[in-house]
Structure 1
């Protein structure tokens, strides 16, 4: 499905309810599998969360999680601890190109039995579950936080808990803290001091425990971009959000003040309002703690004809696509000039935006959604637009409801 976006104007005021955080949902689904007394409200309706649920509930010996990267990492750790259960964990062709060796070797330090069935260091994986005896793991600190969270989530079930030592400068700290906070809420004792994280063994009681998932801040990013590209006074209310969010992408509220967007918190909602034009010609950001919003920010800056420099983006090369290369290619089709390295992107100020460009999405939900707000500037086309279901199935319906004009082609 391709979608043609007409040049549109956002409604002056609107409201959207956004589904639960994919990140929180997947962590809680794994904890629920380990501790069945947990119930979950406002769970994400994303493909990733649905695939995670399906894999955990299925009795099949082959678990296919398609494009769901978080599920691949979390389930690798989970099934390594399932004593007496043997499964094959696989995914899409792109998933089989995404590295998993760091996590497999870390689980190996605990005594896990995991073999590669095709290419060394990549899925599919043959996992023979057992009671892991080890409790010490050492990792480089600059790796994806999903590897770290996968280990932390199974840690309470280990015979002697877990002591995890991270060498170097830690990236994506908010996602590590999210995992630890959810463990703490369950009743697990944890400690994160310096570069060492400890998680104690935990025996669950039969007491029922309910978690309510906060709505997804990554999904909110596209509405921040829409408001930034709208006229002064335009606003949108999004629910349900917390001012003390566990999600790293909640830094959007501060970042988008640079683009003239103010965020007001009230009764578990946020209202985004365009209050002024951007005052800086160059936006400079370190996104090591929130790399998933880099695409949205780059497109916002381009649409506002600003320069933008972002660093801390080293994990973007191993996402659904190489997001740095994809951003450069698609932005330059629109008339931008972009420089990239393995961990940074510099967008030069543009004077024009090319019309009626067809944006390739690279099987990446964030490419489709990040470029869509440019419809407030020029008509454009989004290829294979149904890829948004990975994290935000209601995206196109929600955008139509707030004034974005589109047709399927």
Structure 2
């Protein structure tokens, strides 16, 4: 679906409801499948969560998770301990290009029976579930945190528990801490100290527990971008917005969030956005008479999923930015760094990327109007670029890809004065 997106008014106030975090939902769905007595409310309505639920309920030998990278990693660990079950875990063409060797070798160290159907190190995987007797495993810490979380999630189901030794600098610590916090919340004991993660074996049935999933902070990032860009929109249109009438309220969020992307609050405070959580509502508005910086520098190694949003926001605001800690973006739904370079260049931006960073020059000329943004089967490409339609009309290719994490994205944007038209 090719979608024309534009915005012709100042930003109106709005109330947006975002469903549960995809990251929390998928972790809890694995735990629910492993242990009885766990009830989950506000599960994400994303494609990824739906794929996870379908896979966990499947009795077929072949399980296809399509583009869902989290599901591939978590389910590899899950199916490896389903005694007597044979599973072929596969996915889309892009998924079959995403590396799995580090996780597979870690599970094999624990005794798992996993082999490759086609190319070594990549899906599809042939898994023969069995009881894993070993309890200690080591792996590089600068890999995707999902490898580490996948192991942690099955730790309580292993007869001797699990001890994970992490070697080197750890990537995306907040996601590891999220996994541990959820394990503790459901009643599985564990710790994370001095590069060692310990998960205790669950020797008895879990007590009944209901967990309400916090809404997704990654999905909220696009609204931070919209509010920030509304300052430029008002400037471009020689309008001054009434600050009190341009608040976006999003639910439902927690002050003590487990999600690393909650750092959006402090990052976007540098880009003119005031945020406050009242009750369970996240309220966003422009900081009045804010002096925008000429440049920002950020290490996003703990929250790489918001890099695209921040880069595009800076492009629209005419701010130079240097983002580092982005090495995991090379193995996402697409090579996100190259995708950003390509699409920002179309808009007239001057951007350079390396294997783990990007540098964006301050935009001194108007953005190119009417550009068609390629999304590369990546939901975050579509949503990160959409806010720029406040400044210039855009076309978003394969706009339906947003369903991977946020199916209601386009209809929610319409509440904010965005105009969408299928081409």
TM class, shorter-length: over 0.9
**1:246 maps onto 2:288 in alignment:** no
**Structure 2: which 5+ residue stretches go unaligned?**
232-240
CA distance in 2, matches of 1:110, 1:337: 48
CA distance in 2, matches of 1:209, 1:10: 45
TM-score for the superposition, normalised by structure 1:
0.99
How many correspondences in the alignment? Answer: 409
What do the CA deviations read for 1:308-348 (whole angstroms, capped 9, x no partner)? Answer: 00000000000000000000000000000111110000000
Aligned residue number for residue 325 of structure 1: 338
What do the CA deviations read for 1:47-106 (whole angstroms, capped 9, x no partner)? Answer: 000000000001111100000000000000000001110110000000000000000000
Q: For 1:11, what is the secondary structure of its paired residue?
A: coil
Aligned residue number for residue 393 of structure 2: 379
State whether residues 84 and 128 of structure 2, in contact with CA within 8 Å, keep that contact through their aligned partners in structure 1.
yes
Distance apart, 1:204 and its partner CA = 4.3
**1:60 maps onto 2:60 in alignment:** yes
CA distance in 1, matches of 2:393, 2:405: 24
**1:263 maps onto 2:284 in alignment:** no
Q: For 2:230, what is the secondary structure of its paired residue?
A: coil
Match of 2:326 among 313, 319, 342: 313
State whether residues 8 and 375 of structure 1, in contact with CA within 8 Å, keep that contact through their aligned partners in structure 2.
no
State whether residues 67 and 94 of structure 1, in contact with CA within 8 Å, keep that contact through their aligned partners in structure 2.
yes
Alignment of 1:350-369 (within 5 A): 350-351=363-364, 352-369=366-383
Aligned residue number for residue 181 of structure 2: 181
CA distance in 1, matches of 2:37, 2:132: 23
Alignment of 1:5-404 (within 5 A): 5-205=5-205, 207-231=207-231, 233=243, 234-276=246-288, 277-351=290-364, 352-404=366-418
State whether residues 31 and 153 of structure 1, in contact with CA within 8 Å, keep that contact through their aligned partners in structure 2.
yes
CA distance in 2, matches of 1:220, 1:378: 22
CA distance in 1, matches of 2:253, 2:230: 22
Distance apart, 1:8 and its partner CA = 3.1
What do the CA deviations read for 1:249-294 (whole angstroms, capped 9, x no partner)? Answer: 0000110001100111111111011114353110100000000000
What do the CA deviations read for 1:166-193 (whole angstroms, capped 9, x no partner)? Answer: 1111110000000000100111111111
**Structure 1: which 5+ residue stretches go unaligned?**
none
State whether residues 218 and 293 of structure 1, in contact with CA within 8 Å, keep that contact through their aligned partners in structure 2.
yes
State whether residues 9 and 230 of structure 1, in contact with CA within 8 Å, keep that contact through their aligned partners in structure 2.
no
Q: CA RMSD in A?
A: 1.0
State whether residues 73 and 147 of structure 1, in contact with CA within 8 Å, keep that contact through their aligned partners in structure 2.
yes
What do the CA deviations read for 1:195-216 (whole angstroms, capped 9, x no partner)? Answer: 1111110134263211100000
CA distance in 1, matches of 2:163, 2:187: 18
State whether residues 12 and 417 of structure 2, in contact with CA within 8 Å, keep that contact through their aligned partners in structure 1.
no
State whether residues 55 and 65 of structure 1, in contact with CA within 8 Å, keep that contact through their aligned partners in structure 2.
yes
CA distance in 2, matches of 1:318, 1:10: 38
State whether residues 10 and 404 of structure 1, in contact with CA within 8 Å, keep that contact through their aligned partners in structure 2.
no
What do the CA deviations read for 1:212-238 (whole angstroms, capped 9, x no partner)? Answer: 000000000000000000135222000
CA distance in 2, matches of 1:308, 1:36: 47
Q: For 2:171, what is the secondary structure of its paired residue?
A: coil
CA distance in 2, matches of 1:390, 1:274: 29
State whether residues 7 and 377 of structure 1, in contact with CA within 8 Å, keep that contact through their aligned partners in structure 2.
yes
TM-score for the superposition, normalised by structure 2:
0.95
CA distance in 2, matches of 1:92, 1:10: 41
State whether residues 111 and 134 of structure 1, in contact with CA within 8 Å, keep that contact through their aligned partners in structure 2.
yes
C-alpha distance 57-260 of structure 1, shift in aligned 2 (>3 A) = same
